[in-house]
Amino acid sequence: MHGIYKMNILRTLFKIVYLTFSYLIKGIDKNYYHIMRGNYFADIGLFNYAIRDLKLAHKDNEDPNVEAALGWCYSQINKLDISLDYYRKAYSKSKDPEIVLALAYAEYYNGNIATARALVGKLSLTHKDNSKLLEGILKFHEETEKWND
């Protein structure tokens, strides 16, 4: 397992080098560069670097997916209040089910249990045919029930 983890880190670092080369030499889009680099850093657990790049992308383009990615990165370093702010910004621009479910978790972990359950309840009603999303909703219910015992 440890060797596989090292290979994934090396592969991701190679992707970052190649991406940087593409940005500097080929001139790929600056926002795309920062979003991809931020995602790569997040993939290997370097969340502060990921946040830095995602913020650079967010400065020029307040995309809800970038805001959700920032929310996730901040949650990973236990800055739950900042995470919640980014998820709320993303939700204000997009009602994408994954953003809604992520916001529900952020609300829950910040103590806003009724808000979290209301968000998940709406998803349950409006996305009955999405099995992947329903799995996420079920997982939410299971995890939040454990915390209430």
Domain boundaries, the chain: 1-61, 80-149
At residue 85, what are phi and psi to the nearest 5 degrees? -60, -45
Return the pLDDT at 73. Answer: 98
pLDDT bucket at 149, cuts 50 / 70 / 90: very low
pLDDT bucket at 146, cuts 50 / 70 / 90: low
CA-closest candidate to residue 99, choices 108, 111, 90, 107: 90
Q: Per-residue pLDDT for 121 more than 80? A: yes
What pTM was estimated for this model as a whole? 0.84
Q: Which run of H or E residues covers position 133? A: helix 131-148
Q: Helices then strands (H, E): number in the chain? A: 8, 0
